Amino acid sequence: MSQTARKIPFTKMSGSGNDFIVIDNRDGKIDQDYAGKLARLACRRKLSAGADGLILIEKDAELDFSWRFFNADGSEAEMCGNGARCAARFAVLNAVTDKERFSFRTLAGIVEAQVKGQTARVAMPKPHGLESDIVLSLDGQRLSLDFINTGVPHAVCFTDSSEKLEAMDVDGLGRAVRRHERFQPAGTNADFAFVSGPHTMRIRTFERGVEGETLACGTGCIAAALVASARNYTESPVEVLTRSGETLTIHFEKISQGSELIFSAVYLEGDARVVYEAELWDETLRA
């Protein structure tokens, strides 16, 4: 697709505060080389539609569809939990699939989805890489955190009160964790959480690719719920209150195999809302 194309139809969607530009690209109108640049230009706040990420819905020879997901900075990501839920509802609303339960392909693997009304539930790829008690030195401050990959990497730090979580400098501290040498070269997302009960917690997330705090992060909610469970703070299901005020529910199974914890049957469930449908004009897609 050339940059001089006049209009690109899209749907603006919000998954518990994560917002996305979703485009039906089954006709291949947006080529592979242009997709990252389109994400950077279209996701700019105030200068364009603005969003945390861009989702392209594409054909798949074996599954109901596949997607390509791009962060606001134009980088392609393996997975986005809230984006996956929005993609699932978009597919139902736009007759990409006529099934209530279906599956689609991502770089992190095949995602199974179910949509009922505004609620979308997705089965996430198997988490891996669980590590506990990682200590970082950040400008003389020692920070203890845990790590898990829930489709994308997440470092999770727990606070001991809701007030401390509210007062935390998530942008500053999150950026330092995200770029710390311990997590290079890919970097990591950074989550800060407070466990309020065995089935409830609160979270704030600095997202890699967005390069700032977002109102919600599905894979971050999963990461926080799982590492909290690994510490025996929580058990399934866990309701996670996000910065947007919306709640995401995490379902999972935990099995001990010797000294190793295995998480499986991980589901992310919550609201996936259509904000509006519109068209991107070429004049807002100019650098």
- Nearest-angstrom CA–CA distance, 24 and 11: 9
- Nearest-angstrom CA–CA distance, 130 and 227: 8
- Digitized pLDDT (tens) for each residue of the chain, 287 residues in all: 444 457 999 999 999 999 999 999 999 999 988 999 999 999 999 999 999 999 999 999 999 999 999 999 999 999 999 999 999 999 999 999 999 899 999 999 999 999 999 999 999 989 999 999 999 988 778 999 999 999 999 999 999 999 999 999 999 999 999 999 999 999 999 999 999 999 999 999 999 999 999 999 999 999 999 999 999 999 999 999 999 999 999 999 999 888 889 999 999 999 999 999 999 998 888 76
- Nearest-angstrom CA–CA distance, 13 and 66: 18
Report which of 274, 280, 275 is spatially closest to residue 91, judged by C-alpha positions: 274
221 tagged catalytic: no
Residue 164 is given by DSSP the state H
Q: Are 227 and 132 in contact (CB under 8 A)?
A: yes
217 tagged catalytic: yes
Q: Could you tell me the two tokens for 17?
A: 């505060």
Residue 6 is given by DSSP the state S
Question: Of the listed 80, 86, 157, 221, which one is catalytic?
Answer: 80
- Nearest-angstrom CA–CA distance, 184 and 83: 25
Against a cut of 0.75, is the pTM above it?
A: yes
- Nearest-angstrom CA–CA distance, 54 and 57: 10
CA atoms within 13 A on the CB side of 41: 15
Q: Which amino acid is at 79?
A: M
Domains defined along the chain, listed by start: 7-118+273-284 (3.10.310.10), 128-270 (3.10.310.10)
Q: Spell out the residues 6+ positions from residue 211 whose beta carbon is closer than 8 angstroms to its own.
A: 72, 73, 175, 178
Question: Of the listed 43, 86, 157, 217, which one is catalytic?
Answer: 217
Is the backbone of residue 264 left (phi > 0), alpha (psi -120 to 50) or beta? beta
Cα distances from 50 to residues 8, 39, 53, in angstroms, run: 14, 10, 9
- Nearest-angstrom CA–CA distance, 170 and 207: 10
Q: Spell out the residues 6+ positions from residue 127 whose beta carbon is closer than 8 angstroms to its own.
A: 148, 149, 150, 151, 222, 223, 226, 263, 266
Query: pLDDT tens digits, residue range 10-59?
Result: 999 999 999 999 999 999 999 988 999 999 999 999 999 999 999 999 99
- Nearest-angstrom CA–CA distance, 251 and 270: 11
Q: Could you tell me the two tokens for 197?
A: 């009960």
Q: Are 198 and 186 in contact (CB under 8 A)?
A: no
